[in-house]
Amino acid sequence: MFETLALNNSDLALLILICFFAGLIRGFTGFGLSAFVMSLALSIIPPLELIPICWWMEFFAGVFMIKNGWKESDKKTSMHLWLGAIFGLPIGIFFTTILDFQISKFIALTLILMLSLILLQNFKLQFLSTKLGTISSGVFAGMATGLASIGGMIVATYVLASQNSARRMRASIIVYILLNSITTFIFLIIFDVMDQKAFLRGILLAIPSSIGVVLGSILFIQKLEKYYRPITLGLMIIFATIGLFRLTG
């Protein structure tokens, strides 16, 4: 089995640690797992191989969190975002197979950083409140998922632009990511990205990430909800900055 994983002991130990903390963040914010893993694990596993691994971790996280997420979410918004992502995802995966990953990820991370800084200053992005804005955000999120597995950050940017409660924002992101994992899996199979090695790696690393998700969900308590938006935007800025630094450094 370990030969199939194609990882030495030190790399595997580091990945387990990264995935645990990624799950912890996902459990609290409702997103960020793939972005955290992508930011820190690219030196161990190539990006195209990380995408299906992240899928398994996101899928298990979604299963753990969907019970409360479904009840508390803005289902209409989540569905519109998902429908948009269905169109964007195959485009993103296709370009991942033909474009230099550094360029595509640089563009996505730069946009996320700019939008996060704008939202942190409480600027209103009126376009995002329209139906077209919602679907457009979903399309771009789908493309970002296919390109760099960071579609959740795009959706988080959209959701954080709303005036909903922290619990509703978090739940809407959770529902979207789980719905999107269904179509993502189909396209990963179509593009022959989900192979045996990715399957074994994903299942193994989903264990520490799931433990992190459970612990992170426990931390999401009522008295901390008022800090949800600044913490989440702060994490997005940190992820994007780290990702850009690693790309350009």
* Alpha carbon distance 175, 78 (integer Å): 6
Side chain identity, residue 158 = Y
pLDDT confidence bin for 249, thresholds 50/70/90:
low
* Alpha carbon distance 25, 173 (integer Å): 13
- DSSP assignment letter at 52: H
Catalogue the long-range contacts made by 40-44 (C-beta closer than 8 Å, 24 or more residues apart): 40/242, 41/15, 42/246, 44/7, 44/11, 44/14, 44/15
Choose among 36, 9, 12, 10: nearest CA to 204: 12
Side chain identity, residue 212 = G
pTM here is 0.81
**Residue 19 C-beta-side C-alpha neighbours within 13 Å:** 27
Structure tokens at 234: 């702060």
Contact (Cβ atoms closer than 8 angstroms) between residue 233 and residue 119: yes
Structure tokens at 139: 């399309």
pLDDT confidence bin for 237, thresholds 50/70/90:
confident
* Alpha carbon distance 47, 146 (integer Å): 11
What pLDDT, on the 0 to 100 scale, is given for residue 1? 55
* Alpha carbon distance 116, 153 (integer Å): 10
Express each pLDDT in 206-229 by its tens digit.
999 999 999 999 988 878 888 887
Express each pLDDT in 142-170 by its tens digit.
888 887 777 877 888 788 777 788 899 89
* Alpha carbon distance 34, 150 (integer Å): 6
Contact (Cβ atoms closer than 8 angstroms) between residue 23 and residue 162: no
pLDDT confidence bin for 231, thresholds 50/70/90:
confident
Beta strands (DSSP E) in 90-207 are none
Tell me, rounded to whole angstroms, the distance of Cα 27 from its chain centroid. Answer: 12
